[in-house]
Amino acid sequence: MLWWLLGAALLARAAGFYLPGLAPVSFCEPGNEQVPDCKPTIELFVNRLDSVESVLPYEYTAFDFCSEEKMKRPSENLGQVLFGERIEPSPYKFEFKKPAVCQSVCNRTYDTSKASDKNKLEFLKKGMLLNYQHHWIVDNMPVTWCYDVEDEQKFCNPGFPIGCYVTEAGRPKDACIVNPNFNEKDAFYIFNHVDITIHYHIVEHEQLGARLVAAKIEPKSFQSPDCSGGPKFLKNKQTGVFDIKYTYSVKFVEDKSIRWASRWDYILESMPHTNIQWFSIMNSLVIVLFLSGMVAMIMLRTLHKDIARYNQMDSVEDAQEEFGWKLVHGDVFRPPRKGMLLSVFLGSGTQIFIMTFITLFFACLGFLSPANRGALMTCAVVLWVLLGTPAGYVAARLYKSFGGEKWKTNVLLTAFLCPGVVFADFFVMNLILWGEGSSAAMPFGTLVAILALWFCISVPLTFLGAYFGFKKAGIEHPVRTNQIPRQVPEQSFYTKPLPGIIMGGILPFGCIFIQLFFILNSIWSHQMYYMFGFLFLVFIILVITCSEATILLCYFHLCAEDYHWQWRSFLTSGFTAVYFLIYAIHYFFSKLQITGLASTILYFGYTMIMALIFFLFTGSIGFFACFWFVTKIYSVVKVD
């Protein structure tokens, strides 16, 4: 199954990264009659602005840039809205193959004696201080700003700053570093001019016109509207009338080497990640091999010996000398305390597990590439909603086998507890975003739509699953449970529950933390994430390590005659989420320069959601692995 999936994924990659929904658009010069359905005008769209120093994204129109009100904004999918993407039309428009030099787009004048002008200017200054970045889109492709980094490499950033700041001490910040002319102290330099270069590729053998393969931008700052003179700056404490004139130049370059299908590659390749990815995979594989070796050894040697010895003893006296894990056969399937909560967690965990698996599989096939904006998130949300049935089924089935009788509570908790916590957290975050006027705030309509998806589709599906789960006969256990619970003997330090749980999470976390770094980067530093092949591999490695680490610890605990394995196996691998949380806190302080209370609350709010989801996900893997293991070993030995 696994190989088949990997094979399919590789095949899809080889066949081209982009599959459905993204047909190429042909462009041609105005008045060209030869090519049917070609577009003479290239439109530029603008996305929301974001910053590494702040979690809050803002819509383009939140700033007072040149905007276009007359045109309709393109429709967006759920994933885009959830991620705070807001794509809007812009007044920047070009005729294909018609270069332009220093075209005026709009002029803005601010009079600081007027309150509204002053506010706009202050907001712009704040944007420059926090290094907010524009994200422009041409032909569904990011407009990139390529610049040299060390060792003669080029880094292509799918965004560019609105301006930069030189401190009072004369130290240039962010983008001001590159230009030695930016030397005015305590001043903001505004990039009011852009040089755009559009690369196109002519499809010769067919009458298809030209296709755009890259759009690059170079932000510049000019004092005068004819694009000359020194850079345009604004002293921090400047008052009076101040104007900004926005201009652009555009040129067209034919590029024979880049094909349309691989037009994203230059952006992705400029991110030097691949080596460390392989390193991380190797690192994880070593852990997997180590754990698999341990598990195999236990299975083959110890267990085999145990089972052989147990099965030889048939007299009653021999049975008195039972030892190790067999001793607790009358208790291993004793229902755990708080079985209700455990079964609800496992139901939700199963739902998340299947959702992640399918989403990653589609992502691997290239369906959810970055070109398909918001598709990943949409796919995940829709799958989660549709997977209510397995959640209800698993929760009900396990609850029943734990001997529970309050089935109504069980169904309701499965449908509402974990999603409710996530939604409540999300809602609070949204209130903060609303308060800050950020574009990531969900419109009220979307919020209602999400509630509708949850209540009208997910909840009924959960009820349906629970109905089948309760109707089915309970799970058959290989051994009977004694009437009177056994006393658990005094445990040594290593077999006490807490050390085991803390140790259990280390290895799975060790397998994923490098990948985690890239994921956090893509979420918080707005770098593009595209390595879904790696991610799928890491997902599988995570599942294997979680299961194996839990099985190992489960075995040791059973040998120590401690039979409370249900919660412990869940918590053992679920503890990976605690490491995730610690890592996220470390990431916050070491990698991000987030300032402001709202941003900090948002960061931790979103991190809590991720940690909770991750906890349910890893915890369920651990439980089911251990469940399988326990059922297996006790069904092999003969029990009176």
Interface positions with ligand NAG (CB under 6 A) = 104, 106-107, 225, 245
**CB-based contacts of 68: which residues, under 8 Å, 6+ apart?**
88, 89, 90, 91
Q: Which residue, 105 or 625, is less far from ligand NAG as judged by CB?
A: 105
Q: Which residue, 109 or 292, is less far from ligand NAG as judged by CB?
A: 109
Q: Which residue, 106 or 636, is less far from ligand NAG as judged by CB?
A: 106
Q: Quote the tokens at residue 269.
A: 């390749």
Beta bridge partners of 195: 218, 249
Place of tokens 């292509």: 156
Residue 103 Cβ vs ligand NAG, minimum distance, rounded to whole Å: 9
Residue 68 Cβ vs ligand NAG, minimum distance, rounded to whole Å: 12
Residue 66 Cβ vs ligand NAG, minimum distance, rounded to whole Å: 8
CA distances from 257 to 154, 253, 254 (A): 18, 12, 9
Cβ 260 vs Cβ 206: under 8 Å: no
Residue 223 Cβ vs ligand NAG, minimum distance, rounded to whole Å: 11
Q: Which residue, 246 or 583, is less far from ligand NAG as judged by CB?
A: 246
**Backbone angles phi and psi of 168, in degrees to 5:** -60, -30
Q: Which residue, 109 or 311, is less far from ligand NAG as judged by CB?
A: 109
Q: Which residue, 91 or 324, is less far from ligand NAG as judged by CB?
A: 91
Cβ 569 vs Cβ 623: under 8 Å: yes
Residue 246 Cβ vs ligand NAG, minimum distance, rounded to whole Å: 8
- What is the amino acid identity at position 94? F
CA-based Rg of the chain, rounded to a whole angstrom? Answer: 30
Q: Which residue, 148 or 243, is less far from ligand NAG as judged by CB?
A: 243
Residue 617 Cβ vs ligand NAG, minimum distance, rounded to whole Å: 53
Residue 585 Cβ vs ligand NAG, minimum distance, rounded to whole Å: 49
Residue 104 Cβ vs ligand NAG, minimum distance, rounded to whole Å: 4
Residue 420 Cβ vs ligand NAG, minimum distance, rounded to whole Å: 52
- How many residues appear in the chain? 640
Residue 184 Cβ vs ligand NAG, minimum distance, rounded to whole Å: 22
Q: Which residue, 64 or 255, is less far from ligand NAG as judged by CB?
A: 64
Residue 245 Cβ vs ligand NAG, minimum distance, rounded to whole Å: 5
**CB-based contacts of 191: which residues, under 8 Å, 6+ apart?**
160, 161, 162, 163, 175, 219, 220, 221
Identify which of 333, 292, 340, 345 has the alpha carbon closest to the alpha carbon of residue 620.
345
Residue 443 Cβ vs ligand NAG, minimum distance, rounded to whole Å: 31
For the range 607-612, what are the long-range contacts, defined as Cβ-Cβ under 8 Å and sequence gap of 24 or more?
A: 607/581, 608/425, 608/581, 609/422, 609/425, 609/426, 610/580, 610/584, 611/577, 611/578, 611/580, 611/581, 611/584, 612/418, 612/421, 612/422, 612/577
Q: Quote the tokens at residue 215.
A: 């759009």
CA distances from 489 to 335, 355, 493 (A): 19, 41, 13
Residue 63 Cβ vs ligand NAG, minimum distance, rounded to whole Å: 18
Which of helix, strand or coil describes residue 192?
Answer: coil
Per residue, the 3-state secondary structure of 494-522, as one string, reads HHCHHHHHHHHCHHHHHHHHHHHHHHHHH
Residue 88 Cβ vs ligand NAG, minimum distance, rounded to whole Å: 19
Cβ 554 vs Cβ 546: under 8 Å: no
Distance CA 418, CA 379 (A): 19
DSSP 26: -
CA torsion sign, 219 to 222 to 228 to 229? negative
Residue 438 Cβ vs ligand NAG, minimum distance, rounded to whole Å: 29
Q: Which residue, 227 or 581, is less far from ligand NAG as judged by CB?
A: 227
Q: Quote the tokens at residue 560.
A: 């120590």
Q: Which residue, 67 or 631, is less far from ligand NAG as judged by CB?
A: 67
Q: Which residue, 224 or 292, is less far from ligand NAG as judged by CB?
A: 224
Identify which of 190, 173, 193 has the alpha carbon closest to the alpha carbon of residue 232.
190
Q: Which residue, 135 or 245, is less far from ligand NAG as judged by CB?
A: 245
CA distances from 512 to 134, 376, 619 (A): 32, 20, 16
Cβ 414 vs Cβ 344: under 8 Å: yes
- What is the amino acid identity at position 583? Y
Q: Which residue, 227 or 395, is less far from ligand NAG as judged by CB?
A: 227
Q: Which residue, 51 or 192, is less far from ligand NAG as judged by CB?
A: 192
Cβ 542 vs Cβ 508: under 8 Å: yes
**CB-based contacts of 361: which residues, under 8 Å, 6+ apart?**
5, 9, 536
Q: Which residue, 122 or 243, is less far from ligand NAG as judged by CB?
A: 243
